[in-house]
Structure formats: C-alpha cells, structure tokens
Structure 1
Amino acid sequence: MVLGIIGILVSLALLITLAYRGVTVVIAAPTAAIVAMLFSQAPLLASYTEIFMPALGGFITSYFPMFLTGAIFGKLMTMSGYATDIAQTMTRRLGSRQAMLTTVLTTGLLTYGGISVFVVVFVMFPLARELFREADIPRRLLPATIAHGMLTFTMTALPGSPQVQNIIPAQAFQTTSFAAPLIGVIGGTAIFALGMVWLEYRKRRLMGAGESFADLTALERRSGADADVSTQAQSVVMSGSPSRGSESLTPPNHVVPFIPVLLVFAVNFGCTILLFPALDWGYLQEERFGGVTVDERAGVWAVLIALFLAAVSILVLSLKDAKWLVGGVADGARNALLPIFNTASEVGYGAVIASLGAFALVRDGIFGISDSALVSSAVSTSVIAGVTGSASGGMTIALNAFGEDLAQQAAEQGISLEIMHRITAMASGGLDSMPHNGAVITLLMVCGMTHRESYKDVGVITLVIPVLVTAALIAAYLTFA
C-alpha cells in the first residue's frame, strides 16, 4: 500500500513536470498513469483499455457537443468582427484611463457570453495590449488582468455561465447552470472586487518603482530585439484560418455584436427556467435513452441550444458574408478537439488513480477532513484540480469518484444540492491555476511573458482570491444556514 501511495505521488509529479514543459496532456496523462500502475502492480493493458479509455470516452461523450458549439461560436464571433467590436465599444465607453477595468469587464462579458476560455485570450490580447500601451501600465500585469476576466468570476461563480466548469456539477447534482444564484452573485462580486483591488495595488506599486509598458520583457531581452513574441505564439496555437487569413468583417453598427452574446444568456435562461419545466419528458424513460432524467441533462442541453442559436444568429446577421463565415465552422470544430482531448485525458488519468487500491487512503483522508459534505466536495475538487492543472478535469475526477456519496451525505445533512453545485464549481477554479495549468501557460505565451515575470499576479488573481472567497462562503453557509 505504501508503494502504491509513492507511485501516485511520483505519477503526479511527472504529470505536472511534463505539462509544465509543454508536453501535451494527451501523452502526459497516460504516461503518468502507467507510472502509478507500475508502482501498484496493476495490469497495464487492462487498466488502459478498460479504465483509462472508457473514462476518457465518457467525458467526450458528455461534453463534446458543448466544446464543439462553443469553439464554433468563438470562431464566428472572431471572424465576424463582433468580439473585437465589443471590446472596442467597451473601451470607448470606459476610456483608456480604466485600461485594467475595461479589459476585465470586456473579457468577462465575452466569457460569460459563451466564448470559451481557450479562445477569448486571443481576442482580448491585442486590444488589451494597446490599452496598456496608451495608459503606460507595466506589461507584466497583462496576463493577470485578462485572467481575471476569463478564469475567475465568470467561469465558475456567476449563475448561468455557459462554461463547462459550471455545467459539470449540474450533471452530478442534477441541478442547472443557474444553481444557487445568490451565493454565485455574492461570490462572483467578491472575487471581482478583490481582484481589481489587487491589480490596482500592483499597478501603483510597479509604476511607483518606475516600471512602464516600454520596458522589455525577459523574452524580448533574451531574443535581443523588441519582437512581438505573442503574435508568433498566436499564429502557432490558433492554426488553420479561412481563405481570408486573419481578416475579419466589420459589423454594421455597435449594437449588432452584442446580440449573439445576449442570446446565449437569454436562451440558456429561457430553456432552464421556462421551457424545459413545461415540457413532457416521459419518453426519456424508454430503454433506448438509458433511463436518463431531464434533471441530469438540462444544464448541458440548455447551454448547447443557446450556443447553437447564437452561432446561427451570427450567420443570419451577416447574410452577405455567410458563405465565408461558414468556411470558418470547420476551423472552429478543429479548435475544439485539442481542449476536450486534453481534459478527457486528465479524466482518464484520474479514473486510473481512483481504481488503485492505494487511492482508498486518499479517499479516506479527504473525507476525514470534515464531516460536512460541502467541505469534502470543495476540498476534493480543489485538490484534484490542482494536481491535474484543470478545473473541469479535476472536478470530473472528484465527482466521478465521490459524487454519489457527496450527494447522499448532503441530503442527510440538509445541504441544498444547488449550494453543492455552486461551491464545487467555485472550488474547481482555485488550485487548478497552478503554474502547470494549460490555460495559464497559453495565456503567458500569448502575452509574451514568463512565469517569473507574471505568474505571481496571475496566481493571486486566479488561485489565492478564489480559494479565500470560496472558503469564506463555505464558512458563512455552515454558520448561518
């Protein structure tokens, strides 16, 4: 058993190291799983084909439609010029003096409006860079500012978020994306406010020390020239563009671009609150549908419909260029493949670890931390998300391993499953932002910064503050509920 625990720790260290060094998780996850299997003397081939792959396939089966429609929607928003126009409109309204606030709010609007966190950084970076240049804000704060809008309050806290991190707990607890709206709004507001306080504090401190936007980054100093590293990174990561290259359309006015974004929220809300409860779902009990209930699928279905209709609305609003925009659908579909396979591979890794005998000690340790289902859910999700470097992957692993027990325990303790949903989602967005997190690595690469230059602020914004706010919400609920 001791050897098995050592194997799990070694495999985790290997997974983190490989991810940090840029090895794709599709390769790193099964490699790390093999190490854990060897230490535990588990059968390699059987564990890979009968445990790793079914878990990987199960995640893809459940969430690929969301990744697909989300990626296509994000591609169409970029090609149509809508995303850029929204950012420029927000900039004009708030002004360059509020460069950081403008960046956070615009990024948050696009993320909450349905553009995946894997895509929005490429939309926001060029605009944020110019805002920072005009306001002469040190460039090292660019990644943290963009991260605040895409990886914190809009990803897990605000009710109705179409991001997958807000949908996964809906599957486990049979809730909806609008679960526990009051807790979500309070938590989201607190994370937003504390994040802005930190960013403003850091801006004053760095500028007071004489640092400015014009200072070369470490990457630029090493290259010996003021090269636009971020542009090179963007061309590598976001490969495959339509015939017009990187060209995008010009919206007819500054109102139209907001329509698809608002449509995502309106349709998601309408399906969840009004349409689905009014429909007869009795046919779901037929054998061919596996006995699934609408409560188990409502969150996914509502977001799926919302993203699909929002994508269609872009084509309708740009009829004269619809043929060219349709050409980008294939690129959007391709952009969905790597993110979901990365996450699914982490889920497969977690399934293998959970199948090992030594994992029973880990499970007992997590449940031994507290008798509260709420605390156990938050801790298990946050720890595993930190280990895998993925909020969605860590949450899926935790809920697959503990979800039924946590739901039963919550019912016995009188804890609302909606509260379980919201706290679990928020907990996934804390320790996941360790240095090996894929989104963090991509963000730093696109912004042309190093971990040494910018991770301190990214860590405070996306890790420290969300963890503290989530812990405070748990304490408040257990004290006053």
Structure 2
Amino acid sequence: MSFLIVLASLCFLMFVAYRGYSVILFAPIAALGAVLLTDPTLVAPMFTGLFMDKMVGFVKAYFPIFLLGAIFGKVIELSGFSKAIVASVIKFIGSSRAIISIVIVCGILTYGGVSLFVVVFAVYPFAAELFKQGGIPKRLIPGTIALGAFTFTMDSLPGTPQIQNIIPTTFFKTNIYAAPILGTLGAIFIFVVGIAYLEWCRRRAMAAGEGYGTSLVNEPAPFEHEKLAHPFIAILPLILVGVMNYVFTKTIPLIYGESHSFVPAVIGKAAPVVQQIKSVYSLWAVEGALLIGIAAVFIFAGRTVIKTFAEGSKSAVAGALLATMNTASEYGFGAIIAALPGFLVVAQALSSIPNPLINEAITVTALAGITGSASGGMGIALAAMAETFVQNAQAAGIPLEVFHRVAAMASGGMDTLPHNGAVITLLAVTGLTHRQSYKDIFAITCIKTTAVFFVIAVYYLTGLV
C-alpha cells in the first residue's frame, strides 16, 4: 500500500505538469498528500522540516546561477550577438545544410551559457527561414533544435555551465569538467547519430514530395539582414564564460584552501562563519564566469543593450525565479517522497540492479521522465540516493567523476517526455503540436538515453575517464 501511495503521488505530479499546472503549487500538494495517506501527524513537520528545508537549500545554492544565466542570455539577445552568431554559422556551413547549421548554432549558444529557453526563441526565426528555403518540412524544426540545445551541450560536454552539469558537483564533490573523455565521446555519439536520424527524416520527406508545409501558425517575420556585429565580437562573451569558468575552477581552491572563515562585523561577540570550499567552488566558478560574460557584452554593445535592458532584465529575472522555484519545488517533493516507507520499495527494486553505473543511470533518467524535468528528476534521485551511489562507487573502485557524468547525461535522457516544460515551450514557439513533431523529439530522447549506456560501456571496456 505504501508503494502505491508513492506511485500515485508521482503520477499525480506528472499528470498536473502535463496539463500545464504550476509545479510550484502542486509539488507540495502531491508530496503532502502522500504524507497524509501514510501518517497524517507528519504533514506539518515534513512540510516545514523537510520540504521547505530542501527547497530553500536548493534556492540558496542555485538561484544565483539561474539568475546570472538568464541575464547573460538576455543581454546576448538584446545586443544582437545571438543573431550575428547564427548568421555567421549559417554563412560558414552553408544554408543548404540547414539541419546541421541549426544544431551547431544551438550547441554554441547553450555551451556558451545561454539558457535553452532563450535559445529556442533566438534560433527559431533562422531555422524557419532555412527550412523554408530548403523545402524541408517545418515539423522537423523542433527535433533539430532539441538535438542542438537539449542534449550534448546541456550535460554531456565537460565544462558546460548548464544547471544539469552543475547539480552533481554538490553531491559528488566534483567539478563541471568531470570525466572529460567520457563526456566528449558521449557528445560525439549523440551528435553523429542525431544528425544521421534527422537527415534520414529529411530525405524521406523529400522523396515523398513533402515541402515546408502550408497553413502553418506562428510563422516568424522574414529575417531582416540588418547590420550585425562582427562574429568574433559576438562570440567572445561566450568564449570568455568558458575560459574563465575553467580558470576559476582551478584557482578558487588554491586561493581559499579547504575552508575559509570570517567573523561578521557586528556589535558584540559573533561566531565565525566557516565556508567549506569544496562544496561550492564549482558554483562560484560558474557565477564568476557568467558575470564576466555579462560585463563583456556591456563593454562591446553597452549602448544597444541599455536601451531595452530595463524591460529585458525584468523578463529575465522573472524567468529565472520561475525556473528556480519549479526545480526547487520538485527537489522538496523528492526529499519527502524519499522519506516515505513506500520509497523503500523503489530503492530496493533499483538496488537490485547489480551494476552501480547502470543503477544510477536508470534511477536518474526514470525520475527525470516522471517529473518531466532533467534538473528536478536528478535532484530527486541524488537527494535520495547520493550516499548510496558514493558507497557503490567506493566499493567498485569507480571514480566519482564517472558517476557525475552518468548522472548528468541520464538526467537529460527521458526527461523530454510530452509533459516536459522545454518540449511544451518549443512546440508552442514553433507553432506545432505534439502530433506533428513530438515523434522526432522522442527519437532524439531515445538517442540521448542510449548515449548514457554507450558511455558506461566505454568506461568498462577502456577505463577512460
């Protein structure tokens, strides 16, 4: 019975998310409903002592990254740098190679620190123009953008500043460059197989005489070839984010050591505040790199950005708050579910999978699929089972860097089920429906999930990290 309560709570949250209701509202309702059915006396204590504690802890750790990432993406958009990057990549690769051009553009933007939601809005007009010119069905645009923005640059490539690659650092005490060889091989696998699939779809459509389509909605205005920034200037802030992220990752531990303490300047005696550096230096590195990226945009395009920054920053802050609270609510939900007796059944079932890396991959990707969120599902899985994963790693002699990379990549696997927020946003922006385009997004999802097990196989066969 306890297992059915947990399952019902998970299904309820998945259902309301699919129907478009706010996870911020319904995550605590789903979690506390499960507590009510298990032990009514624990509803209030679990809400205050567990749900809110974990939720606030997530906000404390990750809100600065969500906020700075949203501001960085917005100033890249307001400055016109995103348009310049897109136009330059298309010019270099060729408009005839529309699919690979759009995938590369999305990859550059997301690996440079731009939010995948911003990437969808920034790239769609160019994708529509190229697909129309090439006679490629519009229905393939969502799958193409998903491959570029939701896969290899989101959590596979080492050093990506996306949140899915940052969350494991706090559980495994790693950094965002964990398992660089495995991550790179996984990214290559996803890119090659994904492009092959989308090109196969394009050739089939052309053989069937299918064109771009008619009677379509949300068609963007024709692209205006206004004067754009020089490509090097446009991409420089993204390069700076990547370079400074690496520099800060290496230098912060050297500067601060294992821990750093200070005494607040207040009247009377105050206990020193001690900050353990190992648990936060990866977060500090990303935050510092994003600040430098934002500053670079203002240096090169300050006049252009300032004109619309007041309104633009409001939408960026609102988006950052919403994204943070959505994920934090799912994080609190996971903490409560993991504390219920019914979760023991799930944990025991998952623990019956003997291989520790496959165990972790299935756990993370299953919960990401159920919640419809890569970061939320991974947060639930790691909050509940990180200690078990660490023990398994130590027992099997597997570096925690490998567990980091597997968790990150698995989170971006089955998370893109129909109720995923990014999928719903992508289809809404492109004016397409699940019926028209979801099968291609799902195919990319399957490729991404397969890549996790490809990486695990490579590790066991070669020992590469």
Describe the shift of the 1:48–1:99 C-alpha distance in structure 2 as closer, same or farther (beyond 3 A): same
5 Å-filtered alignment, 1:75-86, equals 75-86=74-85
2:25 is matched with: 27
Shift of 1:58: 1.2
| Aligned 8 A contact 1:6 1:39 in 2 | no
Amino acid at match of 1:22: G
| Aligned 8 A contact 1:80 1:248 in 2 | no
| Aligned 8 A contact 2:84 2:229 in 1 | no
1:354 is matched with: 338
Residues in 2 aligned to 1:402 and 1:248: alpha-carbon distance in whole angstroms:
52
Query: Is 1:271 aligned to residue 248 of structure 2?
Result: yes
Q: Identify which of 253, 257, 280 aligns with 1:281.
A: 257
Shift of 1:100: 0.5
Question: How many residue pairs get matched?
Answer: 452
Shift of 1:330: 3.3
Shift of 1:90: 0.8
| Aligned 8 A contact 2:182 2:459 in 1 | no
1:100-121 Cα distance to aligned partner (Å, 9 max, x none): 0000000000000000112211
1:379-423 Cα distance to aligned partner (Å, 9 max, x none): 211111111111111111111111122112212211011111111
| Aligned 8 A contact 2:83 2:228 in 1 | no
Shift of 1:364: 1.2
| Aligned 8 A contact 1:81 1:250 in 2 | no
SS across alignment from 1:405? helix
5 Å-filtered alignment, 1:220-239, equals 226-228=216-218
1:239 is matched with: none
Amino acid at match of 2:408: A
SS across alignment from 1:407? helix
1:473 is matched with: 455
SS across alignment from 1:176? coil
Query: Is 1:426 aligned to residue 409 of structure 2?
Result: yes
1:369 is matched with: 353
SS across alignment from 1:432? coil
5 Å-filtered alignment, 1:293-312, equals 293-312=276-295
Shift of 1:248: 13
2:268 is matched with: none
| Aligned 8 A contact 2:244 2:289 in 1 | yes
SS across alignment from 2:176? coil
1:222 is matched with: none
Residues in 2 aligned to 1:289 and 1:366: alpha-carbon distance in whole angstroms:
42
1:334 is matched with: 318
Residues in 1 aligned to 2:229 and 2:115: alpha-carbon distance in whole angstroms:
25
TM-score (norm 1): 0.89
Shift of 1:251: 4.6
Residues in 2 aligned to 1:407 and 1:291: alpha-carbon distance in whole angstroms:
25
Q: Identify which of 1, 9, 12 aligns with 1:11.
A: 9
Q: Identify which of 225, 229, 235 aligns with 1:258.
A: 235
Describe the shift of the 1:190–1:228 C-alpha distance in structure 2 as closer, same or farther (beyond 3 A): same
1:148 is matched with: 147
Listed as ranges, the gaps of 5+ residues in structure 1 are 217-225, 232-246
Listed as ranges, the gaps of 5+ residues in structure 2 are 264-270
1:102 is matched with: 101
Amino acid at match of 1:276: I
Shift of 1:57: 1.2
Q: Identify which of 423, 437, 445 aligns with 2:428.
A: 445
2:161 is matched with: 162
| Aligned 8 A contact 1:80 1:325 in 2 | no
| Aligned 8 A contact 1:430 1:467 in 2 | yes
| Aligned 8 A contact 1:80 1:250 in 2 | no
| Aligned 8 A contact 1:385 1:394 in 2 | yes
Residues in 2 aligned to 1:320 and 1:475: alpha-carbon distance in whole angstroms:
51
Residues in 1 aligned to 2:56 and 2:453: alpha-carbon distance in whole angstroms:
33
1:198-240 Cα distance to aligned partner (Å, 9 max, x none): 0001111122222211234xxxxxxxxx542779xxxxxxxxx
SS across alignment from 2:341? coil
Describe the shift of the 1:229–1:320 C-alpha distance in structure 2 as closer, same or farther (beyond 3 A): closer
5 Å-filtered alignment, 1:205-224, equals 205-216=204-215
TM-score (norm 2): 0.92
Describe the shift of the 1:382–1:115 C-alpha distance in structure 2 as closer, same or farther (beyond 3 A): same
Shift of 1:283: 4.8
Residues in 2 aligned to 1:116 and 1:129: alpha-carbon distance in whole angstroms:
20
